[in-house]
Chains A and B, each alone.
Chain A
Amino acid sequence: MSRRWPRVSRNEGIAAAIGLLALIACLLLGLHAPREVLLSYLFAWLFWLAPALGSVGLLMIHALTGGDWGLAMRPALFAASRRLLLMALLLLPVLVGVAVLFPWAGAQAAADPGLDAQRWWLNAPFFVVRAVIVFGLWLWLARGMRRRLATPAAGRFAAAGLVLYALTVSVAAIDWVVSLVPRWHSTVFGILLGTAQLLSAAALAVWLSVSGRDPASGWWTPRRLNDLGSILMVLVLAWGYLAFMDYLTVWIADLPSETVWYLPRVKTGWRWLGAFLLLFHLALPFAVLLSRQAKQRVAWLAGLALWLFLAQIGYVAWLVLPGLREHALAWSDPLALIGIGGLWWLGFGAQRRAALEVQA
């Protein structure tokens, strides 16, 4: 495989151009309302980080468990995991805007004695250092995993890698999501976000692998399709279980340090997003995936996978947006999503084909 820049198809070029325009529009909006736009940007960035990072996690899990499902998804996972460097660069606006975006870093917060006990962790220099370390480790893991795939060393690397992965994802989850609401803390949040990222990556990879454009589609047997559906099922259930247990634990205790996060989500119009997630991100996919017939049909499986991937937009919005700005939604939300998304696909097709050839 050449180590040059991958070839960019025409569609990808157009998407990237649109993305760039959208990001410029974000920047212009940001001159007017920097905090609102940075929040949109963080939301969009987290959404697109998920398939890139989750792919690394899935590649490692597959190196340990084996199974056809991973071979089927590997080219897509491979290409998605190569987006990590881009995501690292795109984190820069968040790092530059720490003081604007995060409530604990602003000028007001400096005088708040209630935050003193948390400052050992929540301070801007340490925040930036952690981001650099975390991304350094992820890039190293992604590279190491891509190199070792299908070698005897893969299993060992993946086992140790997953330990690192779990720890770094948790640090990232606390920094980029939990710290948006200082004083709120949840011990499960790291693995909850990590599971959502795996789900996002798996959904995207299943959709790409199964949808008709795949040159290897003659390879699809009912059993293989079934396995991919089962992977989605496991991840949907794991995500739903963790999210519900978090909610139930908070509900049962009703402690201020925990409800501070849920109140803007369940006592405002955002509750409809919660209901949507419950019905269409959990109940509906569960019902469809329960059916063996649905799982074994290319169109159903691909459609459901794409649906799950898109529904993650709702989940990331639920995690990031409620309660932090005056208006629930802003124009900068879709613009940032399109902006980062446009750049995300740059060179994806060529990298996936390269990975397919290696496998063939």
Chain B
Amino acid sequence: MSAPPISLRETNASITDRVSDITLERPTGRLWMCAFALSFVLTAWLGAGIVWLLARGVGIWGLDIPVAWSFAIADYVWWIAIGMAGTFISGGLYLARQGWRNALNRYAEAMTVFAVSVSGIFPILHLGRPWFFYWLAPYPDRMGVWPQWRSSLFWDFSAIVAYLIVSVLYFYIGLIPDLASLRDRARTRGKQVFYGLLAIGWRGEARHWQRFETLNLLLAAMAVPLVFSVHSMVALDFSEGLLPGWHSTIFPPFFVAGALFSGFGMVLVLGIPLRRFFGLGDFITDRHIANLAKLMLAAGLFVDYSYASELFNAFYSGDRYEIAHAMQELTGAYAWVYWTIIGCNVVAIQAIWFERVRHSHAALFVIALLVLAGMWFERFLLIVSSLYHDFLPSSWGMFYPTFWDIAFLAGSIGLFFLLFLLFVRLLPLLPMFELRKLRARLDREAA
């Protein structure tokens, strides 16, 4: 029998005390302040970039013909991918009745909501005239303009909007019982009002719980298919482009796996420090971290399989453009990116096969960071390597990032962490009621 998913030292009271004290009683630490300040500066940089972009247009990025998509789209795919793992942990593992997930789902869902929100900035700004972004939505207007229903871009937009709505709802609904606990335990008037409003009158009646459980199940069942639809649509955005390297039938599942891969990486990158700084080892146990590492390995192996399948099929097909594209990736101007990806996404994760590595949090933290970097580079390479060498040698050309490309990437990371740090201070980090339920179940099983 493996280790219990929550330390047996914890009781119902201690779970509530410890988790709610982080939000209500614990003073804001210096480390948090430093992190917040840094994120704030980066976010301000992003803000400046947005203002400059609105004034000057997307030309401030390094975009040009032939490489007309680059950092912004890579950032967008990277961020939305990171969100997927949160939904998988809270929705997928819930449907599969994996009780150990309970300690992870709250912050993973928060990660999802913030990552999806950050990702949405990029395609909108990339439109060129972002203030008309609502033209993407199908609505009856006097111009008689409708979206192109056969374009995956429209379905991509729909999938993201649906996903954002469902993940925000899922996150918020799951918070309500805990918000009510905070309301009841808050000692200042301001906090009572703040959490009281958010708890929308939750009193913990049996009827409340019954409806809550039904709704939770429904939302989980809705959220999990959305993970697949969102990333499949992102994949089809590329497939529609027909370029060698952009068009491949494995793309939809490959993108989904890649999304989960980087998402598990981010869950580890966030979870390992959280666990350490807030002393949450009783809740986020070694077993959680090891399980996350295994999930990351599994998703990574599927991603690696896709690399192999694409490479093999290029040569199997005998198609000169497919072969030329494969050779460009292996030896061309961006080959250093390709081999970085292989190092991060293929080689580095193999260490997780070893039990010692799965129990070393420092090692997992480093591997997860490498995975995040590797997956960003992968999106970058996917986009640029197909564009810079297309069918006609006369239209080949390199891509070079500008100052503002870097600003948007760094700034989006800043914005994500800014939101996450606020979440850490203002909302309960772990789902208290689910942990109590888990604890009760362990007792029942022991008895």
Contact surface of A with B, Cβ cutoff 8 Å: 115-118, 120-121, 159, 163, 166-167, 170, 174, 183, 185-191, 241-242, 245-246, 248-250, 252-253, 255, 257-258
Name A163's closest neighbour in chain B (CB-CB): B301
- Given A187-B306, A245-B253, A253-B247, list of 6 further CB < 8 A pairs? A118-B316, A163-B301, A186-B313, A189-B249, A191-B250, A255-B242
Chain A positions within 8 Å of B250 at CB level:
186-188, 191
B310 engages A187 (CB within 8 Å): yes
Assess A121 versus B316: contact at CB under 8 Å? Given A187-B250, A249-B247: yes
A253 engages B239 (CB within 8 Å): yes
Chain B positions within 8 Å of A248 at CB level:
236
A188 engages B249 (CB within 8 Å): yes
Chief secondary structure at chain A's binding surface: helix
Assess A241 versus B228: contact at CB under 8 Å? Given A185-B313, A248-B236, A253-B239: yes
Assess A186 versus B249: contact at CB under 8 Å? Given A249-B239, A252-B152, A252-B240: yes
Chain A positions within 8 Å of B315 at CB level:
120-121
With the chains together, A249 CA to B152 CA distance in Å?
A: 10
Chain B positions within 8 Å of A191 at CB level:
250, 253, 305
Chain B positions within 8 Å of A116 at CB level:
318
Chain A positions within 8 Å of B248 at CB level:
187-188, 249
Chain B positions within 8 Å of A183 at CB level:
317-318
Say yes or no for B94: interface residue by CB 8 A criterion: no
Say yes or no for B17: interface residue by CB 8 A criterion: no
Say yes or no for B309: interface residue by CB 8 A criterion: yes
Assess A249 versus B251: contact at CB under 8 Å? Given A170-B309, A190-B309, A255-B242: yes
Most chain-B Cβ atoms within 10 A of its Cβ — which of A166, A249, A255?
A249
Assess A117 versus B309: contact at CB under 8 Å? Given A187-B249, A245-B249, A249-B251: no
Give which listed residue, A159, A166, A185, A252, contacts B239 with CB less than 8 A. A252
Min CB gap A19→B, angstroms: 35
Q: Which 3 A-B pairs have the closest CB atoms?
A: A117-B318, A187-B250, A245-B252
Chain B positions within 8 Å of A188 at CB level:
248-250, 252-253, 309
Chain B positions within 8 Å of A253 at CB level:
239-240, 242, 247
Min CB gap A72→B, angstroms: 16
B252 engages A187 (CB within 8 Å): no
Min CB gap A198→B, angstroms: 14
Q: Which residues B311-350 have CB closer than 8 A to chain A?
A: 313, 315-320, 323
Name A290's closest neighbour in chain B (CB-CB): B221
B249 engages A250 (CB within 8 Å): yes
Say yes or no for B262: interface residue by CB 8 A criterion: no
Chain A positions within 8 Å of B313 at CB level:
185-187
With the chains together, A152 CA to B428 CA distance in Å?
A: 38
Say yes or no for B232: interface residue by CB 8 A criterion: yes
One digit per residue, 1 when the CB lies within 8 angstroms of any chain A CB and 0 when it does not, for chain B 142-181 equals 0000000010100000000000000000000000000000
B253 engages A242 (CB within 8 Å): yes
With the chains together, A258 CA to B353 CA distance in Å?
A: 38
A187 engages B309 (CB within 8 Å): yes
Most chain-A Cβ atoms within 10 A of its Cβ — which of B228, B249, B316?
B249
Chain B positions within 8 Å of A159 at CB level:
353
Chain A positions within 8 Å of B253 at CB level:
188, 191, 241-242, 245
Give which listed residue, A166, A187, A245, contacts B232 with CB less than 8 A. A245
Name A248's closest neighbour in chain B (CB-CB): B236
Min CB gap A104→B, angstroms: 11
10 A–B pairs (Cβ distance < 8 Å), ordered by A: A117-B318, A117-B323, A118-B317, A185-B313, A186-B249, A188-B252, A191-B253, A245-B235, A245-B251, A252-B236
Name B228's closest neighbour in chain A (CB-CB): A241
Min CB gap B290→A, angstroms: 12
Name A159's closest neighbour in chain B (CB-CB): B353
Name A184's closest neighbour in chain B (CB-CB): B317
One digit per residue, 1 when the CB lies within 8 angstroms of any chain A CB and 0 when it does not, for chain B 228-243 equals 1000100110011010
Most chain-A Cβ atoms within 10 A of its Cβ — which of B242, B253, B301, B319?
B253
Chain A positions within 8 Å of B318 at CB level:
115-118, 183
With the chains together, A245 CA to B256 CA distance in Å?
A: 12
Min CB gap B265→A, angstroms: 19
Q: Which residues B194-242 have CB closer than 8 A to chain A?
A: 228, 232, 235-236, 239-240, 242
Chain B positions within 8 Å of A245 at CB level:
232, 235, 249, 251-253
Chain A positions within 8 Å of B353 at CB level:
159
A185 engages B317 (CB within 8 Å): yes
Name B152's closest neighbour in chain A (CB-CB): A252
Chain B positions within 8 Å of A163 at CB level:
301
Q: Which residues B290-309 have CB closer than 8 A to chain A?
A: 301, 305-306, 308-309
Chain B positions within 8 Å of A187 at CB level:
248-251, 306, 309-310, 313
Min CB gap A185→B, angstroms: 4
Min CB gap A342→B, angstroms: 36
With the chains together, A249 CA to B253 CA distance in Å?
A: 12
Assess A249 versus B310: contact at CB under 8 Å? Given A117-B318, A118-B316, A163-B301: no
With the chains together, A48 CA to B242 CA distance in Å?
A: 37
Chain A positions within 8 Å of B308 at CB level:
167
Chain A positions within 8 Å of B247 at CB level:
249, 253, 255
With the chains together, A182 CA to B417 CA distance in Å?
A: 51
Chain B positions within 8 Å of A186 at CB level:
249-250, 313
With the chains together, A219 CA to B252 CA distance in Å?
A: 40
Chain A positions within 8 Å of B301 at CB level:
163
With the chains together, A102 CA to B318 CA distance in Å?
A: 17
With the chains together, A328 CA to B232 CA distance in Å?
A: 34
With the chains together, A163 CA to B298 CA distance in Å?
A: 10
Name B229's closest neighbour in chain A (CB-CB): A241
Min CB gap A311→B, angstroms: 22
Give which listed residue, A167, A174, A242, A255, contacts B316 with CB less than 8 A. A174
Assess A166 versus B240: contact at CB under 8 Å? Given A174-B316, A249-B252, A253-B247: no
Min CB gap B327→A, angstroms: 14
Min CB gap B37→A, angstroms: 43
Most chain-A Cβ atoms within 10 A of its Cβ — which of B228, B232, B309?
B309
Give which listed residue, A167, A189, A241, A249, contacts B236 with CB less than 8 A. A249
Most chain-B Cβ atoms within 10 A of its Cβ — which of A163, A253, A255?
A253
With the chains together, A55 CA to B249 CA distance in Å?
A: 26
Chain A positions within 8 Å of B236 at CB level:
248-249, 252
